Amino acid sequence: MAILIREATMADVYDVARVHVLSWQSAYHNIVPDNYLHKLEISKRAERFKKDFVAYKGITYFYVAENNGRIIGNIALSKCRDDDKPLSGEIIGIYLLQEYWSMGYGKKLMDFGINKLREFGYSEVCLWVLDQNRRARNFYERYGFLFDGTKKEINLGKQLVEIRYVLNSAV
């Protein structure tokens, strides 16, 4: 299992968007309405990521995972955006193409993200996950994340609940 994880560049925006859209369509099938998922367009997401890479430079850090030169996943890291967690880091998103699920690539990407946030000085890491996304929740729980009781509603074509998971570790 060869994987290279590196900082994303502007040349990667299309592939970051491709992974984002395809993984959303796989992971959120039967959770988010199909009409919402089918409207996701790689080219529009690429334009959004192009703007995000500039607007959030030095605030959010984007990394890609490559297998044999092909981008198969990505992770975005930052200081936690929640007011009640000012000293925590956050995994804003971690995505992997479906054909690479359950092969150890997600764990390698998570290991990288946790280690990078530790390098940034965070001993606590937060992330948000859809309550109904049992597959992702199982992955996070196996990793050691715990639901901290915090919830919020979001609308992705229907009302859904996101829950916050937290991982505490020594720096």
Residue 29 and residue 40 in contact, taking contact as beta carbons nearer than 8 Å: no
Average pLDDT in the 44-52 region? 95
Q: Using CA of residue 106, residue 15, residue 28, residue 131, what is the dihedral sign?
A: positive
Q: Which CATH superfamily is domain 4-122 in?
A: Gcn5-related N-acetyltransferase (GNAT) (3.40.630.30)
- Tell whether the model's pLDDT for residue 127 goes beyond 50: yes
What pLDDT, in 10s, does the model give residues 95-123?
A: 999 999 999 999 999 999 999 999 999 99
CA atoms within 13 A of residue 16's CA, in its CB half-sphere: 28
Tell me what pLDDT residue 2 has: 83
- Tell whether the model's pLDDT for residue 171 goes beyond 50: no
Beta strands per DSSP E along 40-158 = 60-67, 70-79, 89-96, 124-130, 146-155
Give the percent of the chain with pLDDT over 70. Answer: 98
- Amino acid found at 117: L
Average pLDDT in the 66-91 region? 96
Domain assignments of the chain as residue spans, ordered by start = 4-122
Q: Which residues contact 14 (CB under 8 A, 6 or more apart)?
A: 42, 43, 46
Rg (CA), the chain: 15
Can you spell out the DSSP letters for 12-72? GHHHHHHHHHHHHHHHTBTTB-HHHHHT--HHHHHHHHHHHHHHTTTTEEEEEEEETTEEE
- Tell whether the model's pLDDT for residue 19 goes beyond 70: yes
> Strands 124-130 and 89-96, how do they pair?
parallel
Q: Which letter does DSSP use for residue 11 in this model?
A: G
- Tell whether the model's pLDDT for residue 5 goes beyond 70: yes
Tell me what pLDDT residue 1 has: 63
- Tell whether the model's pLDDT for residue 24 goes beyond 60: yes
- Tell whether the model's pLDDT for residue 129 goes beyond 70: yes
Q: Which residues contact 56 (CB under 8 A, 6 or more apart)?
A: 78
